[in-house]
Chain A
């Protein structure tokens, strides 16, 4: 009997300790947010600050169309209170597998814990009429690279803040204030970036994929040719010859290759067209180690266009 009493004491203390830790954790519990891309992760951190715990699936160096549904992401999704995705079929090849593996009804499509921001961001290039895959890897609902427009990103931050406020009403006003401050900052900087791009005189650019559509639309640049003959199809020599023709004819000064693509294809262009510049650019946060915020991302693109990039 004496032995039993001695044994109960440490167990009771342990149970009390566990209970108190659990209660204290509840008191300061942060919302867990899982973002599909580093850009969405960055918006979430801007809006949520220290009130949120943020994880990201795709790395900034990866093509977001092709990410593997690693089970470790399912584990993160299982613990998420909110999943934020671009939608517009960007993640169609991998997010459904992560969601099914996560077994977390809180973040099922249609639930408050699931937010697709692409459709709310006035997508461009939405299909009109019937589509066929003979046109390549097309996105019928619109171009999904919406986070390359600073104005749209500001609006997305406000949309996200509202959703976070629904999930965490205590901090709702803080989320909205932070989102509005972020939006204002981007709007002000957009005017400065626009002035610099206008001053550079660059009006036409060739890219590898239609990734920079929103950036070009915002800053009044024409994407006159794409190195991929069709979305998702690698460049062919015949198509590159056509693109070289367009570059010469329209006096295009710049070719940009998104940094998850192989830039080797631009060698022929540089040989054939003297004076044309070619750069590999990050198009996502963390696409390069020094690109940590949206300010860094758009600043780098602007500097590359005006030719002041180191």
Chain B
């Protein structure tokens, strides 16, 4: 109840501030070029469909009850819609179709699919230096959390993201304000208030429980060809044990794409560290991890031809190491071929070392296809 009141209040602020901004600019002449484009496109939302399929082979996947069994699988399909609502707001709807836990008696052998709103939000487009957002969205919690499955640098999310934030990541209903700080380099400060429902870290069913998220994003142009990005972020809120959960992290990305010949080669190196804590009285229940879990993932993406990428990733889950338990480690190598901006085929090898389990070797081929509106790429 409390957070629905908060959302309504923020919604009113978005509308009133943006309305006043528009009023100041009222009576502006409509740009003929934009009008021509609109005429070409119509007023329908930009619509896109993205789907991901997999063929997987691993030692652990020989067991058909394994979480990632061998063979063909439908990884996910995403339906995307976006459009300006009016002069003040833009709306985005992103729905994911994927396999859900089966309710049939045969359990995981029966394939059942569900449609879920992955992100459905509105955001301000007429406010200077700030973007207000309202709805269900991926929290500004590091570099990987904001990515949709089709934009993951590898076929799977880093182990620490999956373990700490769950398969869906930190993604819930809430409100967000993101400020562009006037500074000589790019500084963005984001503050978000969200329902504390996200699995694993909070998983609260109490509607009064809210989680706060904050992120400071910095990006420096080291040269025309090279950038360095540093993000610091954290979240805190009440969990399902009526205790406090919190998590924090940092990520660093170095990107190089030359101004001459950048169509054919580039390198990006990202390292992300996350650490989370679940507190409270667990009673008979067991938290998904805990009470503390940390992990690091570092990956390099090397584009060696117009349509080819070679990538490598190393991860440690359990940093610092959990008591009496070795850390889980994973190394991955990926070869990607992208016939066009709209299709990609990626072959990935994973070597997974888990405590008290034999080392697993897995190979998977993914096809990643987009149809519909041309996407605007994030940096």
Contact = CB atoms under 8 A, between A and B. Distances in A.
Interface of A: 59, 61-63, 66, 68-72, 74-75, 78, 87, 89, 92-97, 100-106, 108-112, 114-120, 133, 136-137, 140-141, 166, 232-234, 260-262
A97 B355 CA distance: 43
A236 B94 CA distance: 37
A72 B219 contact: yes
Contact of A68 (B229, B342, B377): B377
A128 to B, nearest CB: 13
Contacts, number: 135
Nearest to A71: B186
A75 B186 contact: yes
Nearest to B379: A69
Given A59-B224, A72-B185, A75-B180, A111 B128 contact: no
Interface stretch (B29-37, B140-148, B201-209): B29-37
Contacts of B377: 68-69, 93-94, 97
Interface residues of B, number: 51
B376 interface: yes
A61 B259 contact: yes
A105 B25 contact: yes
A14 B365 CA distance: 65
Contact of A94 (B28, B127, B376): B376
Interface stretch (B58-66, B260-268, B356-364): B260-268
Contacts of B264: 262
Contact of B221 (A70, A109, A136, A140): A70
Given A112-B28, A119-B32, A120-B33, A93 B375 contact: yes
A137 B21 CA distance: 38
B131 interface: yes
A166 B28 CA distance: 10
Contact of A59 (B30, B34, B126, B259): B259
A140 B257 CA distance: 29
B307 interface: yes
A136 B307 CA distance: 14
Contacts of B127: 103, 105
Interface string B59-90: 00000000000000000000000000001000
B92 to A, nearest CB: 11
B130 interface: yes
Interface of B: 21-22, 25, 28-34, 36-37, 40, 87, 125-131, 180, 185-186, 188, 217, 219, 221, 224, 227, 229, 257, 259-264, 306-307, 339-342, 371, 374-379
B257 A68 contact: yes
Contact of B180 (A78, A108, A111, A114): A78
A119 B28 CA distance: 19
Given A100-B131, A141-B36, A70 B227 contact: yes
Contact of B374 (A69, A93, A136): A93
B267 to A, nearest CB: 13
Closest 3 CB pairs of A and B: A116-B33, A96-B376, A71-B186
A120 B128 CA distance: 29
A62 B131 CA distance: 30
Residue with the greatest number of chain B CB neighbours at <10 A, chosen from A89, A119, A234: A119
B186 A115 contact: no
A137 B221 contact: no
A3 B125 CA distance: 49
A140 B40 contact: yes
B379 A68 contact: yes
A109 B31 contact: yes
Contact of B126 (A94, A96, A105, A262): A105
A93 B376 contact: yes
A71 B180 CA distance: 10
Contacts of A89: 374
A71 B33 contact: no
Contacts of B188: 71, 101
A151 to B, nearest CB: 19
Contacts of B30: 110
B186 A116 contact: no
Contacts of B130: 103
A103 B340 contact: no
22 contacts: A61-B259, A71-B217, A71-B229, A75-B186, A93-B377, A96-B376, A102-B180, A103-B127, A103-B131, A105-B22, A110-B87, A111-B28, A112-B28, A114-B31, A115-B31, A116-B31, A116-B33, A117-B33, A119-B32, A133-B340, A137-B341, A140-B40
A72 B222 CA distance: 11
A114 B263 contact: no
A234 B32 CA distance: 35
Nearest to A86: B33
A119 B221 contact: no
Contacts of A133: 340, 342, 371
Contacts of A140: 40
B228 to A, nearest CB: 11
B378 A97 contact: yes
Nearest to B18: A105
B372 to A, nearest CB: 10
A97 B379 CA distance: 8
B33 A115 contact: yes
B177 to A, nearest CB: 11
B226 to A, nearest CB: 11
Contacts of B185: 72, 75
B180 A103 contact: yes
Contact of B33 (A59, A103, A118, A166): A118
A131 B81 CA distance: 21
A197 B371 CA distance: 43
Contacts of B125: 100, 105, 108
Contact of A112 (B29, B307, B376): B29
A104 B379 contact: no
Given A110-B34, A232-B341, 20 more contacts: A62-B263, A72-B186, A72-B227, A74-B186, A87-B33, A93-B374, A94-B377, A96-B376, A101-B188, A103-B131, A105-B22, A108-B126, A109-B37, A116-B37, A118-B33, A119-B37, A141-B40, A260-B263, A262-B261, A262-B263
